């Protein structure tokens, strides 16, 4: 449970942050002044000895909790044996591929390992272009697929593009179902999924007739935890099949138990051709992958897809250990169970806090959209930051605001969280919310 022993930030944290300002660019996201020293499970200890409950998991990475003893033991053991052997085969890489394929829906029967989520989305889009005649890719407003040039070009938010010059040609963007602020001014279900119907119109006006794929996040994370309404993904997949395109599903953030299922796609009746994995796959050590059907992946020319660090023995051993922990400790089920608790508590808070405009989430990933009042829905960015700051002062670590409008609080604790930790963290959050809204 949290323990605050200094003013925040403490003296050592202040000195390090001053050095950071001198020696590092400020291109990273602007987090509360928490300088992490070590962490175990769901508890972070900062460099001054203050302890915080974790609602970040890094950034939805440490699904098995921080420094799980079995995970640390597996990494230590592998570190004493072998770190890198490039494209030469190694037992950990091959066993990891076998293990992940065993968890995936049957049609996704091969796995290509890379290092970061951006590597995975880039690879998936390159694969779609390589095995088809087309090169245009449909993506969504608000999407985040990473910060490399191709991934940023697929992205649908200006945050990663503005100021960085022309993007890669060939991307078309259409609205994503952000039902709290529908771009068409409609309401579900009366809208009859107008945003899906609009895709035909947009493609007929913008495509040169060279489409090869559609890429979408499973739920839009950075845009504010936006979850499409029922039937939307099934409808999108029907459209993709009618057009003869590849369906790329970016599960970098949502896979490995985060949403209360092993893979988020299991919430819907869909069958993507290529699935991007990352974050929770390695649960700490960088590890990412593209899963796909062998009919697609076996078409890639030898040498055209590989990577210096992808599938290295250390990250592969770490990922195997993480998956073993998830299975042994039933973390997917824990995420689903705690998800019900989080939902109930947030909905209850919404009753008394007018500024808590919308609550959305699944399992252990939630987005809380802060507004000045429910009627106007005007985004309240200052209040969003104030709540996060109040949480920090009380010993709860929360990531900087997310959302298309910068007014969403992201809740994403490690999946090893206990019910007692969940309740304690929710109590701290409620007190912080009430303090920031002046109640």
Ligand X SMILES: Cc1ncc(COP(=O)(O)O)c(C=O)c1O
Question: Which residue in 117, 224, 260, 401 binds ligand X (CB under 6 A)?
Answer: 117
Rounded to a whole number of angstroms, the minimum distance from the CB of residue 312 to ligand X is: 15
Confirm or reject binding of residue 121 to ligand X (CB under 6 A).
yes
Judged by beta carbon, residue 220 or residue 384, the one nearer ligand X is 220
Rounded to a whole number of angstroms, the minimum distance from the CB of residue 115 to ligand X is: 8
Question: Which residue in 250, 358, 421, 424 binds ligand X (CB under 6 A)?
Answer: 250
**Residue pair 1/45 in contact by the 8 Å Cβ criterion:** no
Instruction: Using the Cα atoms of residue 261, residue 267, residue 272 and residue 276 in order, give the sign of their dihedral.
Output: negative
User: Strand pairing of 356-362 and 211-217?
Assistant: unpaired
Write each residue from 394 to 433 as x if it is in contact with ligand X (CB under 6 A), else as -, in one continuous string.
Answer: ----------------------------------------
Place of tokens 């290092």: 115
Confirm or reject binding of residue 177 to ligand X (CB under 6 A).
no
Q: ω before 189 within 30° of 0 (cis)?
A: yes
**Residue 175 CA neighbour count, 13 Å, CB half:** 16
Stretch that binds ligand X, among 24-32, 115-123, 165-173, 363-371 (CB under 6 A): 115-123
Place of tokens 């709290």: 180
Confirm or reject binding of residue 144 to ligand X (CB under 6 A).
yes
Stretch that binds ligand X, among 129-137, 248-256, 338-346, 352-360 (CB under 6 A): 248-256
Confirm or reject binding of residue 248 to ligand X (CB under 6 A).
no
Write each residue from 252 to 291 as x if it is in contact with ligand X (CB under 6 A), else as -, in one continuous string.
Answer: xx------------------------x-------------
Judged by beta carbon, residue 10 or residue 224, the one nearer ligand X is 224
Judged by beta carbon, residue 119 or residue 136, the one nearer ligand X is 119
**Residue pair 172/137 in contact by the 8 Å Cβ criterion:** yes
For the chain, the maximum distance between any two Cα atoms, rounded to a whole number of angstroms, is: 63
**Residue pair 398/370 in contact by the 8 Å Cβ criterion:** no
Distance of alpha carbon 144 from its chain centroid, rounded?
A: 9
Vertex 32: Cα angle to 436 and 158 (nearest 5): 95
Rounded to a whole number of angstroms, the minimum distance from the CB of residue 203 to ligand X is: 23
Rounded to a whole number of angstroms, the minimum distance from the CB of residue 140 to ligand X is: 11
Rounded to a whole number of angstroms, the minimum distance from the CB of residue 298 to ligand X is: 25
And the tokens for 47?
Answer: 């460099």
- 369 membership: H or E segment, kind and range: strand 365-370
Tell which positions 194-223 bind ligand X, by CB under 6 A: 217, 221
Place of tokens 């053991």: 77
Stretch that binds ligand X, among 42-50, 194-202, 249-257, 394-402 (CB under 6 A): 249-257
Judged by beta carbon, residue 170 or residue 286, the one nearer ligand X is 286
Render the burial of 263-297: b for 16+ CB within 10 Å, e for the rest. bbbebbebebbbbbbbbbbbbbbbbbbbbbbeebb
- Contact positions toward ligand X, by CB under 6 A? 116-118, 121, 144-146, 217, 221, 250, 252-253, 278
């Amino acid at each position: 449970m949290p323990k605050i022993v200094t003013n925040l930030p403490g003296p050592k944290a202040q000195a390090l942050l001053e050095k950071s300002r001198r020696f590092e660019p400020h291109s990273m996201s602007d987090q509360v002044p928490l300088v992490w020293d070590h962490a175990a499970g769901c508890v972070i200890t900062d460099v001054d000895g203050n302890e915080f409950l974790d609602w970040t998991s890094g950034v939805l990475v440490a699904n098995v909790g921080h420094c799980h003893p079995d995970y640390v033991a597996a990494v230590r053991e592998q570190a004493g044996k072998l770190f890198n052997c490039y494209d030469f085969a190694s037992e950990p890489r091959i066993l990891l591929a076998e293990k992940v394929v065993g968890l995936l829906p049957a049609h996704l029967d091969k796995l290509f390992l890379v290092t970061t989520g951006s590597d995975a989305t880039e690879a998936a889009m390159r694969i779609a272009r390589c095995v088809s005649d087309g090169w245009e890719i449909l993506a969504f407003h608000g999407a985040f697929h990473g910060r490399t040039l191709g991934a940023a070009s697929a992205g649908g938010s200006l945050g990663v593009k503005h100021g960085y010059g022309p993007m890669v040609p060939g991307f078309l963007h259409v609205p994503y179902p952000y039902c709290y602020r529908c771009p068409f001014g409609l309401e579900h279900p009366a809208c009859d999924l107008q945003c899906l119907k609009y895709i035909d119109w947009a493609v007929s006006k913008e495509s040169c007739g060279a489409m090869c794929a559609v890429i979408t996040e499973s739920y839009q994370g950075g845009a504010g935890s936006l979850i499409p309404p029922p039937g939307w993904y099934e409808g999108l997949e029907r459209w993709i099949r009618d057009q003869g395109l590849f369906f790329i599903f970016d599960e970098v953030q949502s896979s490995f138990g985060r949403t209360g299922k092993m893979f988020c796609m299991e919430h819907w009746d869909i069958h993507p051709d290529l699935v991007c994995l990352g974050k929770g796959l390695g649960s700490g050590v960088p590890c990412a992958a593209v899963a796909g059907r062998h009919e697609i992946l076996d078409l890639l020319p030898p040498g055209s897809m590989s990577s210096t660090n992808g599938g290295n023995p250390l990250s592969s051993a770490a990922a195997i250990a993480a998956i073993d922990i998830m299975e042994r400790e039933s973390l997917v089920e824990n995420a689903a169970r705690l998800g019900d608790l989080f939902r109930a508590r947030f909905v209850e808070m919404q009753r008394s806090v007018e500024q808590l405009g919308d609550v959305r989430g699944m399992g252990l990933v939630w987005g809380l959209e802060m507004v000045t009042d429910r009627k106007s829905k005007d985004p309240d960015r200052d209040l969003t930051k104030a709540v996060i700051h109040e949480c920090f002062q009380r010993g709860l670590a929360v990531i900087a605001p997310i959302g298309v409008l910068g007014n969403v609080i992201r809740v994403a604790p490690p999946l090893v969280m206990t019910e007692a930790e969940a309740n304690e963290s929710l109590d701290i959050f409620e007190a912080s919310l009430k303090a920031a809204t002046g109640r």
